[in-house]
Amino acid sequence: MKKSLGANTIALPLPAWVICSYDESGQPNAMTASWAGVCCSDPPLVYFSARKSRYTYACVMAHRAFTVNIPGAEHTAATDYLGTISGRKADKISAAGLTAEPAEQIDAPYLAEFPLVLVCKLVKTEPLGTHTMFIGEIADVLCEESLLDTDGNLDAAKLRPFIYSTADSTYYAVTDALGQGFKLGRHLIK
């Protein structure tokens, strides 16, 4: 039996990804986003949404570039912190014990300690209400070498990903493999 919970954004799993950009004076800035995901295969596009009041909004508009920094479970507290206060008020990246490195192809930094980084050129902005969607073309993916298997593919379990749930404002660990995509449901094909 279903119960109505009204019109809201209760949803899961959502990512908790850290968006990095330079501010107008060239200082690295970081913001955590759960309104974020992949939106196209070719060109490879990813988006995040941000309020106009966020420091990241002006940074990405000015430099037309950002990185999506995907944390492992060891970065849960840092990821939460980076979404809690504004980069106007603190050098959040240093305070979180993290290091900003310049990305090669674009005008944005990335977090050296985070295991997976999507390097993005801003291609479109879409104002939607409280939030504006920033759509970026993925120019490169940077992966920590220790997470690659012998064939050079990312071992997702080693990254120890986690999710954010708006249903209960909680981070949850991603753990056991349940099966392969495009294989697990094959027995249902008649």
Query: Which residues, numbered 103-162, are part of the site for a copy of itself (CB under 8 A)?
Result: 112, 116-118, 124, 126, 128-131, 133, 135, 137-145, 148, 152-157, 159, 161-162
CB 51 within 8 A of CB 57: yes
Closest separation in Å from C-beta 86 to a copy of itself: 11
Cβ neighbours of 103 (radius 10 Å): 21
User: Phi/psi at 161 (nearest 5 deg)?
Assistant: -70, 165
Closest separation in Å from C-beta 2 to a copy of itself: 4
Among 58, 64, 80, 125, binds a copy of itself (CB under 8 A): 80
Residue 53 binds a copy of itself (CB under 8 A): no
* CA 17 vs CA 68, 113, 184, 186: distances in Å: 6, 13, 28, 32
Pick between residue 24 and residue 152 the one whose CB is nearest to a copy of itself: 152
Pick between residue 84 and residue 150 the one whose CB is nearest to a copy of itself: 84
* CA 109 vs CA 96, 131, 134, 162: distances in Å: 15, 23, 17, 23
Number of residues that bind a copy of itself (CB under 8 A): 105
Dihedral, CA of residue 133, residue 138, residue 139 and residue 141, to nearest 10: 130
Cβ neighbours of 83 (radius 10 Å): 17
Pick between residue 16 and residue 24 the one whose CB is nearest to a copy of itself: 16
Pick between residue 8 and residue 24 the one whose CB is nearest to a copy of itself: 8
Q: What span, in angstroms and rounded, lies between the C-alpha atoms of 52 and 37?
A: 19
Pick between residue 11 and residue 62 the one whose CB is nearest to a copy of itself: 11
Residues 55-74, interacting with a copy of itself (CB under 8 A): 68, 70, 73
Pick between residue 58 and residue 143 the one whose CB is nearest to a copy of itself: 143
- Residue 117 burial by Cβ neighbours in a 10 Å radius (0-12, 13-18, 19+): buried
Residue 86 binds a copy of itself (CB under 8 A): no
Among 20, 54, 81, 108, binds a copy of itself (CB under 8 A): 81
